[in-house]
Structure 1
Amino acid sequence: MSDKTRALIAIDPKRARRNALPTRKTTVTRGDKVVATISHIVLAIWSIIVILPLLWTLFSSFKSTSEIFASPFTLPSSWDFTNYVNAWTKYNFGQMFLNTVIVVGVALFLVMLLGAMCAYVLARFSVPGSRVIYYLMLAGLTFPVFLAIVPLFFVLQGIGLLGTLPGLIITYVAFALPFTVFFLYSFFKSLPYEIQEAAYVDGASEWRTFFQVMLPMAKPGLAAVGILNFLGLWNQFLLPVALNPNTSQYVLSQGMAAFASAAGYEVDQGALFAAVIITIVPVLVVYIFFQRQLQGSVSQGTSR
């Protein structure tokens, strides 16, 4: 036995036993190669199916309507941003983009705050009826949203918020809250109670313990559910179409539908494709920059 092994046994016997075990060589069989090849082919086909329509939409956003119908699958003759300027100003997509940012931003902040507080209380405290409240939240995930459209319409009309951005924000918060609570519940449930008790011993109040101790520890879960909520709220179509009839308060999804169906074949196709790019770029940017955070957060939450 070498001196290095003796020293390792004296310092860390468990590590020494792990190092003493013979290393097992992994062999790649022919079946593994076949499965890997088929998987790569399927993923490549799927990537082509997803990427090609995006590229076609991007190229079409630089073409005129006549050029789109004459040569839909060729590159544009000129790469100017006239269609984007027309979509942003002439067809009012700039205002709709601002409305969408306001609605989604405020709703996302409120749903993350309220959802985190609700999940924390349900997971960490023995509140009377907490299990009933949690199961009611889960029931909200199974309730089809289109069944609530008519009651929501009359409720918002009764309180004077129909066709307004605050009314749409409240609806978005109610729509996303059950999923947020369900997702964050397991994260707060798995946090060690010793840290919470140590904060109490140091004199921290319930509010300070939540915001300065427990909430930062649940950052992976907050990041994951925040990204998923952003994607869902930004792409929401049914709720704004049914509950936001005021054209000056349109968001991007209903503005796209109204613009596409306004004049049939007489619509400005180049501006329409430019509006599509304006609508999907924020979603692509968020996904590209935060996909690693999303994957790591979800895997960390499921492994607990």
Structure 2
Amino acid sequence: MSAVTTARTRSASTAPGAGRGPSGERAVTVGSHTVLGIWSLIVLLPFAWTVVSSFKTTREIFASPFSLPERWQFVNYVNAWRTAGIGSYFLNSVVVVGCALVLTMLMGAMSAYVLARFSFRGRGVLRFLIVAGLTFPVFLAVVPLFFILRQMGILNTLPGLILTYATYAYPFTVFFLMSFFEELPGEIAEAASIDGASEWRTFFQVMLPMAGPGLAAVAILNFVGLWNQYLLPVVLNSNRDNYVLTQGLGAFASASGYDVDFGALFAGSVTTILPVLLVYLVFQRRLQGAVAAGGLK
């Protein structure tokens, strides 16, 4: 018995991965937490500096850029909102991004569901074109888009930007959601069909809620990309009354030359960042669910 026990002990000590015990797991944990901590500092420190600078005057920013303000001045946000026109630009961004997001999520989810669940002639070609749309650089399409929108009579208008934004985000939305709809159990759709549900009702009331985590994820990614979009509105929207937030900040920074109100500029930057943070904080819990859990519900 002792010889057998000794042999088993030796084989266990020489087995692959035997050296990866609690100490190895601890090293991986410490290393990953260190990398995440460094990355968090790289992200949070510039944001904290921007927030603090938004309450300082231009003289304080140049005199002591890394110190706290002598007096926390909320007047910078008032100047940015009213004098620089950030309020109207913010409203334009909400309208454009909100309408484009609803449009692209609706059309993208419907297209992804059809391409994932139905077999028909030309399905492979359509899937290939969707993937090709992801690889096409947007700056190569701005000139054709300019002439198309001008012929349609919606150049330099908010509806033109809404259609452009929705088209820009459409390939990514379809490509992202196809994998979610492909993983959904087909038995549930068959059960809904047996109960008398039409294809439209099966999609909107059964299959679409099951893809909730995927919809939330792609909605957040699309919102961030469309909210920070700068090239498309600069080329396709030269009407100052229809400027979005990114255009407004750029115009405010360049119009004053060397006499820029940096406190108001930092306040406008914080106003631009806050909606993205709020959207993520609201929808982050929905990203924790699984498609299978949604199907059980």
TM-score of the alignment, normalized to the shorter chain, above 0.5: yes
Report Cα offsets for 1:59-116 as digits up to 9, x if no partner: 1111111111111111111123100011011111000000000001000000010001
RMSD of aligned residue pairs (Cα, Å): 2.2
Partner of 1:203: 196
Equivalent-residue separation in structure 2 for 1:241 and 1:50 (angstroms)? 27
Partner of 1:91: 84
Greater shift, 79-88 or 281-290, is seen at 281-290
Q: Is 1:227–2:220 an aligned residue pair? A: yes
TM-superposed CA distance for 1:48, in Å, is 1.5
TM-superposed CA distance for 1:259, in Å, is 1.2
Equivalent in 224, 242, 250 of residue 249 of structure 1? 242
TM-superposed CA distance for 1:299, in Å, is 11
Residues 184, 300 of structure 1: alpha-carbon distance in 2 compared, 3 angstrom cutoff: farther
Equivalent in 264, 267, 270 of residue 263 of structure 2? 270
Partner of 2:106: 113
Equivalent-residue separation in structure 2 for 1:138 and 1:159 (angstroms)? 27
Equivalent-residue separation in structure 2 for 1:146 and 1:205 (angstroms)? 42
Residues 245, 217 of structure 1: alpha-carbon distance in 2 compared, 3 angstrom cutoff: same
Equivalent-residue separation in structure 2 for 1:207 and 1:298 (angstroms)? 20
Partner of 2:45: 52
For the 8 Å contact 2:212–2:291, the answer to whether it is kept is no
For the 8 Å contact 1:63–1:270, the answer to whether it is kept is yes
Q: Which runs of 5+ in 1 are unaligned?
A: 1-24
Report Cα offsets for 1:265-284 as digits up to 9, x if no partner: 20111100000000000111
For the 8 Å contact 1:220–1:300, the answer to whether it is kept is no
Q: Secondary structure at the match of 2:44?
A: helix
Equivalent-residue separation in structure 1 for 2:20 and 2:245 (angstroms)? 53
Q: Is 1:152–2:138 an aligned residue pair? A: no
Partner of 1:162: 155
Over 6 Å off, 4+ runs: 298-301
Residues 299, 33 of structure 1: alpha-carbon distance in 2 compared, 3 angstrom cutoff: farther
Residues 299, 255 of structure 1: alpha-carbon distance in 2 compared, 3 angstrom cutoff: farther
Equivalent-residue separation in structure 2 for 1:138 and 1:296 (angstroms)? 27
Q: Read off the aligned partner of 1:38 and give its amino acid letter.
A: G
Partner of 1:281: 274
Residues 38, 123 of structure 1: alpha-carbon distance in 2 compared, 3 angstrom cutoff: closer
Equivalent-residue separation in structure 1 for 2:102 and 2:251 (angstroms)? 28
TM-superposed CA distance for 1:192, in Å, is 1.9
Residues 297, 156 of structure 1: alpha-carbon distance in 2 compared, 3 angstrom cutoff: farther
Q: Which runs of 5+ in 2 are unaligned?
A: 1-17
Q: Secondary structure at the match of 2:255?
A: coil
TM-score normalised to structure 2 length: 0.87
Equivalent-residue separation in structure 1 for 2:30 and 2:183 (angstroms)? 39
Q: Secondary structure at the match of 2:258?
A: helix
Equivalent-residue separation in structure 1 for 2:183 and 2:27 (angstroms)? 40
Q: Read off the aligned partner of 1:179 and give its amino acid letter.
A: F
Q: Read off the aligned partner of 1:140 and give its amino acid letter.
A: G
TM-superposed CA distance for 1:261, in Å, is 1.5
Identity in percent: 65
Equivalent-residue separation in structure 2 for 1:300 and 1:76 (angstroms)? 49
TM-superposed CA distance for 1:228, in Å, is 1.0
TM-superposed CA distance for 1:293, in Å, is 2.9
Partner of 1:176: 169
Partner of 1:236: 229
Residues 195, 299 of structure 1: alpha-carbon distance in 2 compared, 3 angstrom cutoff: closer
TM-superposed CA distance for 1:296, in Å, is 4.7
Equivalent-residue separation in structure 1 for 2:35 and 2:196 (angstroms)? 57
Q: Secondary structure at the match of 1:261?
A: helix
TM-score normalised to structure 1 length: 0.86
Q: Read off the aligned partner of 1:49 and give its amino acid letter.
A: I
Equivalent-residue separation in structure 2 for 1:69 and 1:138 (angstroms)? 48
Partner of 1:11: none
Partner of 2:286: 293
TM-superposed CA distance for 1:45, in Å, is 2.0
Greater shift, 282-291 or 115-124, is seen at 282-291
